[in-house]
């Protein structure tokens, strides 16, 4: 069932492998625009993620607890999903899909996905948000590369994520 027009629910999908300060920044921005937010963690087995879906969800919730977004935790739900995002959006009665744009290089792919999702779910708009400029270079892939080689990621990810990365890449 669709939500009443006055209730604005958005879905923010991604791999979040792991969540970064850029993602947390986007969650905070989305909460200024929408009443509720579902952060939808894509299982993406084809991408062979470093963390399981449940671990990625847990890291998002922990990150919010540790940040300024904490007071908004009640408005955020974190789910793992495995099918088509458009189907999830319609099933949950979402008004919008939120995606982040860091640079022009993100645009082409995002444009393609947004128009595909519009074909599949015409009632759901895709909304693009820009992070704070200091996070525009951040990606989960870069974070994993730095952490894998023992680099310090503590200013790029929430503290709980830095700890989990350290444990995951600890030499036996
Ligand atoms: P995906 O594999 O779907 O791209 P990601 O976890 O890499 O999943 O990203 C999820 C969403 O968050 C995407 O819209 C991406 O553009 C956005 N995003 C990723 N990193 C940042 C960042 N540093 N700042 C803002 N948005 C970001």
Q: Which of 8, 75, 102, 166 is catalytic?
A: 102
pLDDT recorded at residue 4? 53
Please give the distance, rounded to the nearest whole angstrom, from the Cα atom of residue 101 to the centre of ligand 1. 8
123 assigned to some structural domain: yes
- Name the residue range of residue 85's domain: 9-140
162 assigned to some structural domain: no
- What's the total number of domains in the chain? 1
155 assigned to some structural domain: no
CA distances from 44 to 13, 18, 40, 126, 147 (A): 12, 13, 12, 21, 21
- Which of 2-11, 21-30, 160-169 is predicted least confidently? 2-11
168 assigned to some structural domain: no
Please give the distance, rounded to the nearest whole angstrom, from the Cα atom of residue 23 to the centre of ligand 1. 6
Which amino acid residue places its CA nearest to atom 16 of ligand 1? Answer: 100
Q: pLDDT of 48-94, one tens digit each? A: 999 999 999 999 999 998 887 778 889 999 999 999 999 999 999 99
**Which CATH number goes with the domain that contains 46?**
3.40.50.620
Q: Which of 7, 47, 134, 148 is catalytic?
A: 47
Please give the distance, rounded to the nearest whole angstrom, from the Cα atom of residue 157 to the centre of ligand 1. 13
Counts for the chain of helices (H) and strands (E), in that order: 6, 5
145 assigned to some structural domain: no
Q: Is the CB of 18 under 6 A from ligand 1?
A: no
Beta carbons within 10 angstroms of residue 107's beta carbon: 12
The C-alpha atoms of residue 161 and residue 56 are separated, in whole angstroms, by 9
What is the pLDDT confidence band of residue 6, given thresholds at 50, 70 and 90?
A: confident
Secondary structure of residue 81 in the 3-state scheme = strand
| Cβ 165 vs Cβ 140: under 8 Å | no
40 assigned to some structural domain: yes
20 assigned to some structural domain: yes
pLDDT recorded at residue 105? 85
What is the pLDDT confidence band of residue 23, given thresholds at 50, 70 and 90?
A: very high
Average model confidence (pLDDT) across the chain? 93
Q: Is there a catalytic annotation at residue 166? A: no
The pTM for the full model equals 0.93
95 assigned to some structural domain: yes
């Amino acid at each position: 069932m669709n939500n009443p027009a006055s209730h604005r629910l958005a879905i923010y999908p991604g791999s979040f492998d792991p969540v970064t300060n850029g993602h947390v920044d986007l969650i905070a921005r989305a909460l200024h625009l929408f009443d509720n937010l579902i952060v939808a963690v894509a299982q993406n087995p084809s991408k062979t993620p470093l963390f399981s879906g449940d671990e990625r969800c847990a890291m998002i919730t922990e990150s919010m607890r540790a940040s300024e977004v904490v007071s908004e935790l009640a408005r955020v739900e974190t789910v793992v999903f495995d099918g088509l995002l458009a189907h999830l959006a319609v099933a949950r009665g979402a008004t919008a899909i939120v995606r982040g744009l860091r640079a022009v290089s993100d645009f082409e792919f995002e444009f393609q996905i947004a128009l595909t999702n519009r074909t599949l779910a015409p009632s759901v708009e895709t909304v693009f948000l820009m992070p704070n400029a200091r996070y525009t270079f951040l990606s989960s892939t870069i974070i994993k590369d730095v952490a894998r080689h023992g680099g310090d990621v503590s200013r790029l990810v929430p503290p709980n994520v830095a700890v989990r990365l350290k444990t995951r890449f600890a030499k036996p």
